[in-house]
Amino acid sequence: MTGNKAVAYKEAGKVEVIDIDYPTFELKDGPGVNPANVGRPVNHGVILKTVATNICGSDQHMVRGRTTAPPDLVLGHEITGEVVEVGRDVEFIKVGDLCSVPFNIACGRCRNCKERKTGICLNVNPDRPGSAYGYVDMGGWVGGQANYVLVPYADWNLLKFPDKDRAMEKIMDLAMLSDIFPTGFHGATTAGVGVGSTVYIAGAGPVGLAAATSAHLLGAAVVIVGDMNEGRLAQARSFGCETVDLTQGEPKDQIEQILGVPEVDCAVDAVGFEARGHGKGAQEAPATVLNTLMDITAAGGALGIPGLYVTGDPGGIDEAAKKGSLSLSLGTGWAKSLSFTTGQCPVMKYNRQLMMAILNDKVNIAKNVNAKAIPLEDAPKGYAEFDAGAATKYVLNPNGYLS
């Protein structure tokens, strides 16, 4: 039997590389697995040998102890891999194919999947619509920060790269297709970014930088990124973004200095529920970003909200926040006729187009998010550095495919 090592959440602030079972075509019991999913046959699945598997800011919420994730939950929903085994019912995906795995697990059969709403598939998570690999309350599908991972509904879920050699030349860019590039693009498109738009993006982490990259790709005239981390702001400036230093206070005045007016056409929340207030030493204030975006977005505009919000946060600042109840100025949004789009990005809606943009040299997403490959055994260090604010997108390299 082939060995399999994986990155697991142990307790708040701690991850470890552990030994886990090699995948089989059946969902087994384990940390976070919904009992209704135990024993579920996966003859429609494949087993991937992992080529790249990224550390995500969403993973960090769990690792910080800000969710109800159980100990030993295997992490990792940003997966790129080579097919090494196919299930009995797989028809089109073959051994040797190099594929991107959308972080949403979707059946391809339910009403939502047929309407391209793959982030809220009705058949893969007994708890609620929507599922993902290695994530709390998402059905218990084992994460992909590992040597090998099981991918269900493979003919539907996998995006096969058309030329393996060509794909390997751009593999660090293509590794961003599993989540952050489509998620950033979803944030930008749902905010209404188009040719000539002025755009404000809250957060200069990898998703924020991916949203900024997407805004440029969509033809925005000015892309402004706000954050408190100067290293991340410098990364945004490196590919043509304007920046706002939120340690200096509210963004409105700095936006006016850039644009001549204190508002933008479109806005993206790439921060989520661990938002902080503005100014030096600002403390956590989870509604800050959403209320600020409503304030600075022009009437009739839209907010794309790929930033994660949860219904259970043990570390919330008050009882309301612990249940995901935030003090939003919804009256502001109503008065200005603003539109909001929240929830998981339906990755399959965008990943093929973005793959073609990468393969044809229209975008350099790995450079823009400062992607860096590290060995699987260095995952705890990568998590710690990312949590400390490193302006880096860490890509784990479990099987030595990456240089």
- The Cβ of residue 284 has, within 10 Å, a number of other Cβ atoms equal to 14
DSSP string, 94-143: -TT-EEEE-SB---S-SHHHHTT-GGG-SSS-SSSS--BTT-TTTT-PPP
Instruction: State residue 32's pLDDT score.
Output: 87
Instruction: State residue 312's pLDDT score.
Output: 83
Instruction: State residue 117's pLDDT score.
Output: 97
Stated length of the chain: 403
User: What is the enclosing helix (H) or strand (E) of 380?
Assistant: helix 379-387
Instruction: State residue 239's pLDDT score.
Output: 98
CA-nearest of 62, 72, 56 to 142 is: 72
Instruction: State residue 34's pLDDT score.
Output: 87
Instruction: State residue 387's pLDDT score.
Output: 94
Instruction: State residue 2's pLDDT score.
Output: 77
- Report the topology of domain 180-342: Rossmann fold (3.40.50)
Tell me the pTM.
Answer: 0.96
Instruction: State residue 41's pLDDT score.
Output: 95
Residues of the chain with CATH 3.90.180.10: 5-179+346-397
Residues of the chain with CATH 3.40.50.720: 180-342
Give the position of tokens 């965008």: 350
Instruction: State residue 181's pLDDT score.
Output: 98
CA dihedral of residues 169, 174, 176, 179 (deg, nearest 10):
-160
Encode the chain (403 residues) as per-residue pLDDT tens digits. Answer: 578 999 999 999 999 999 999 999 999 999 988 899 999 999 999 999 999 999 999 999 999 999 889 999 999 999 999 999 999 999 999 999 999 999 999 999 999 999 999 999 999 999 999 999 999 988 899 999 999 999 999 999 999 999 999 999 999 999 999 999 999 999 999 999 999 999 999 999 999 999 999 999 999 999 999 999 999 999 999 999 999 999 999 999 999 999 999 999 999 999 999 899 999 988 888 899 999 999 999 999 999 999 999 888 888 888 988 888 889 999 999 999 999 999 999 999 999 999 999 999 999 999 999 999 999 999 999 999 999 999 999 999 999 999 7
Domain boundaries 5-179+346-397, CATH class: alpha beta
Instruction: State residue 281's pLDDT score.
Output: 87
Instruction: State residue 185's pLDDT score.
Output: 98
Phi, psi of 379 (to 5 degrees): -55, -45
Instruction: State residue 403's pLDDT score.
Output: 79
